[in-house]
Each structure stands twice: as C-alpha cells, then as structure tokens.
C-alpha cells in the first residue's frame, strides 16, 4: 500500500514538473495546430469567425491557382540558392578557424557575429546598402567598372539579392554549429592519423567530414525548415516584389490572412506548408540513415 502511494506521489511530481510546459504547448501549439486544420476546412469572415464548412474547397482553390505554384517555386529556388552556399562557406570557415589560438578567437567572434544581429535590423542595413543610386554595393561595383544593378528593383536580381543577405545572416549560426561539431572530434584521432602519415587534406576527408556529418545533417534539416519559413527579410527588403519575384510561401500566407483577412485559405496554406516541411524532413532523415556517420 505504501509502495503504491509512493508511486502515485512520484507520478504527481512528474506531472507537476511538466505542467508549465504542457500548458504552454497545449494552449499555444497543439490547440492552434488543430484549430488551423479546422479553419482550413471552413470559410471565415474578416473577423476570423466561421461562416461555413466548405470541405476541401480552400485546398482546391489554392492547388488550382498558378499563383500558389509560383510562390512554392520561389521558395524552393530561395532554399536552393541559400542553403548550399551558406553550408559550404560556414564549413570552410569552421575548418580554418577551429584551432585554439590568439587570432582564431577574433575570427570566431566575427564569423559568429551575425547570430546576434536581428534579422529585422539586418534587413534595414542591407536595404540601404542595396540602394540603386546611393548604396555602397553599387559604389563598390563602380570600381570594377560594372554598371549599377537594381538589386531589389530588378525582378532578375531581387531574389538573388535577398538570398545574398540571407546567406550572410545565416552564416553566424551555421558556423557556430559546425565549429562546435569540429571541436567535439577527439584530438587523438588526428594524432594517430598523423602517425600513419596522413596529410591535412586527407585528415579532413577521412576524419573531420565523416565525424562532422551529424552536425552537417542537423544544419541542413534546420536550414531547409528555416528557408521555407523566411518572412522578415522579404517583408522589409522587397515586400514580395518586384513583379512577385520574391513572393515566398510565408509572405503569400501573411498577405492572405492578415492583409486580405481570409483566415480559411490562409490556414489551408499553412497546413500545406507544414506538410511540405514534414515531407522534406522525412526525406532528409531517410537519406541520412544511409549517409550520416554516428559514432
């Protein structure tokens, strides 16, 4: 009897400790998640109240419109331009600066610095740098004899410009994760490889990269999710323009729900976004099962 009471008391403590988190997740994550599913099957008035149950009409509307595929395409292009670039640059920088010495501390601080720059602030700085006539980028280009570029005003360049800025802001975190991963590799592995006469590039290929693959994998999953969720820089730099050339999925969703006040179709778009992200995460995990090396 005493044993049972003790077990009950133990469980009560367990749920007591979990309660704050469970409450928070319950009210602001799980409830709204199911509410989104519910809203996506209804039409709503501009105040967010349910008007009618419409089955999958919202989804049919979205999936039947050219506009939506365009925004999906832009989101993927954006992911494709930002993620590999950011990973490769961060990886090179981390490989070159992971050793503990007096100079590397400063390099580490600089390369990680963008993690501390809020994306809203960074976007405003970059908007000024991108300015067609008075911006510094076009000024620097003039040294190279290149004509001014309409970084954010030319549909051919806008997505590239937003991508450059995004790579810059993402390097901080990516670099930190990869640097931590490299620092976690035991020093004696290198020592013994050195004994066997391995050169530095061989050591990177045979030791660092395989042992770093979980960190690289983690970063690529996080980056795909992050890229598909990008909003702030688009809102500040281009507002989806010019000519919809930077109208990524989340920006489109924001417009639908909070500018046009169509919460039903907005929710349906959010559900589609969730499914796309889920699908990508699963695919990445499938690939990783074969490729990633866990010690």
Partner 1 sequence: MISRLQRPAALIILILAAVVIIYPIYYAFAASMMTSGEMDSFPPHLFPSSLYLANFKLVFSLVPVAQFLYNSFVVAIAITAGHLLTASLAAYAFAFIRFPFKAFIFSLFVATMMIPWEVTMIPNFLTIRNWGWTDSYWGLIVPFLTTGFGTFLFRQFFLQLPKEIFEAAKMDGLGHMGAFVRIALPLTRSAFATLAVHSFIGAWNMYLWPLLITNEESMRTVQIGVTMLQFEEFTSWNLVLAGLTLMMLPPLLLLVFGLKQLVGNVTLGALKG
Return the residues of window 145-184 that contact partner 1 according to CB under 8 A: 168, 171, 176-177, 179-181, 183-184
Query: What are 287's two structure tokens?
Result: 């690939």
Query: What are 268's two structure tokens?
Result: 């349906």
Work out how close the CB of 72 gets to partner 1 at its nearest, in angstroms, rounded to a whole number. Answer: 14
Task: Report CA 230 to chain centroid distance, whole Å.
Answer: 7
Among the listed residues 96, 279, 283, 287, the single contact to partner 1 using CB under 8 A:
96
- DSSP one-letter code for 43: E
Among the listed residues 65, 192, 229, 260, the single contact to partner 1 using CB under 8 A:
229
Find out whether 165 and 233 touch, Cβ atoms under 8 Å. yes
Which ranges in the chain belong to alpha helices (H)? Answer: 2-25, 31-40, 57-63, 66-97, 102-112, 119-129, 136-143, 158-183, 187-195, 200-203, 209-228, 232-237, 249-254, 263-291
User: Site map for partner 1, 22-61, x if CB under 8 A?
Assistant: x-xx-xxxxxxx-xx--x--------x-------------
Find out whether 37 and 59 touch, Cβ atoms under 8 Å. no
Total binding residues toward partner 1, as defined by CB under 8 A: 90
237 belongs to the binding site for partner 1 (CB under 8 A): no
C-beta of 77 vs 164, nearer to partner 1: 164
Torsion over CA of 232, 160, 69 and 221, rounded to 10 degrees?
Answer: -70
236 belongs to the binding site for partner 1 (CB under 8 A): yes
Work out how close the CB of 194 gets to partner 1 at its nearest, in angstroms, rounded to a whole number. Answer: 7
Hunting for tokens 């190279």 — which residue is that?
144
- Judged on CB neighbours under 10 Å (0-12, 13-18, 19+), 79 is buried
185 belongs to the binding site for partner 1 (CB under 8 A): no
Hunting for tokens 């990008």 — which residue is that?
230
Query: What are 189's two structure tokens?
Result: 């592995």
Work out how close the CB of 154 gets to partner 1 at its nearest, in angstroms, rounded to a whole number. Answer: 21
Among the listed residues 1, 5, 116, 259, the single contact to partner 1 using CB under 8 A:
116
Cα separation, 160 vs 138, in Å, equals 15
18 belongs to the binding site for partner 1 (CB under 8 A): yes
Q: In this chain, which stretch among 13-21, 63-71, 151-159, 237-245 interacts with partner 1, using CB under 8 A?
A: 13-21
7 belongs to the binding site for partner 1 (CB under 8 A): yes
215 belongs to the binding site for partner 1 (CB under 8 A): yes
Work out how close the CB of 51 gets to partner 1 at its nearest, in angstroms, rounded to a whole number. Answer: 14
Cα separation, 100 vs 47, in Å, equals 57
Near partner 1 in 240-279, by CB under 8 A:
250, 253-254, 257-258, 263, 266-267, 270-271, 273-274, 277-278
14 belongs to the binding site for partner 1 (CB under 8 A): yes
Cα separation, 59 vs 75, in Å, equals 19
Torsion over CA of 118, 217, 270 and 248, rounded to 10 degrees?
Answer: 60
Work out how close the CB of 97 gets to partner 1 at its nearest, in angstroms, rounded to a whole number. Answer: 7
C-beta of 77 vs 193, nearer to partner 1: 193
Work out how close the CB of 244 gets to partner 1 at its nearest, in angstroms, rounded to a whole number. Answer: 19
231 belongs to the binding site for partner 1 (CB under 8 A): yes
C-beta of 77 vs 225, nearer to partner 1: 225
285 belongs to the binding site for partner 1 (CB under 8 A): no
């Amino acid at each position: 009897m005493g044993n049972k009471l003790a077990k009950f008391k133990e469980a009560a403590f367990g749920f007591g400790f979990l309660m704050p988190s469970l409450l928070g997740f319950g009210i602001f994550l799980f409830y709204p998640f199911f509410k989104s599913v519910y809203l996506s099957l209804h039409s709503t008035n501009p105040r967010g109240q349910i008007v009618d149950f419409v089955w999958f009409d919202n989804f049919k509307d979205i999936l039947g419109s050219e506009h939506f595929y365009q925004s999906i395409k832009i989101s993927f292009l954006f992911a494709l331009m930002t993620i590999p670039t950011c990973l490769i640059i961060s990886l090179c920088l981390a490989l070159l600066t992971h050793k503990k010495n007096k100079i590397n501390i400063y390099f580490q601080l600089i390369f990680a610095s963008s993690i501390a720059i809020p994306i809203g602030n960074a976007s405003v700085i970059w908007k000024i740098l991108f300015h067609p006539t008075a911006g510094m980028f076009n000024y620097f280009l003039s040294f190279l004899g290149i004509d001014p570029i309409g970084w954010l005003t030319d549909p051919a360049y806008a997505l590239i410009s937003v991508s450059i800025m995004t790579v810059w802001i993402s390097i901080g975190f990516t670099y930190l994760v990869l640097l931590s991963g490299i620092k976690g590799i035991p020093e004696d592995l290198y020592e013994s490889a050195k004994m066997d006469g391995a050169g530095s590039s061989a050591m990177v290929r045979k030791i660092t990269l395989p042992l770093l693959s979980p960190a690289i994998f983690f970063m690529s999953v996080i980056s795909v999710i992050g890229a598909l969720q990008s909003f702030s820089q688009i809102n500040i730099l281009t507002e989806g323009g010019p000519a919809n050339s930077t109208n990524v999925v989340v920006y489109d969703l924001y417009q639908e729900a909070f500018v046009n006040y169509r919460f039903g179709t907005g929710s349906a778009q959010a559900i589609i976004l969730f499914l796309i992200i889920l699908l990508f995460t699963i695919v990445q995990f499938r690939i990783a099962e074969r490729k990633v090396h866990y010690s």
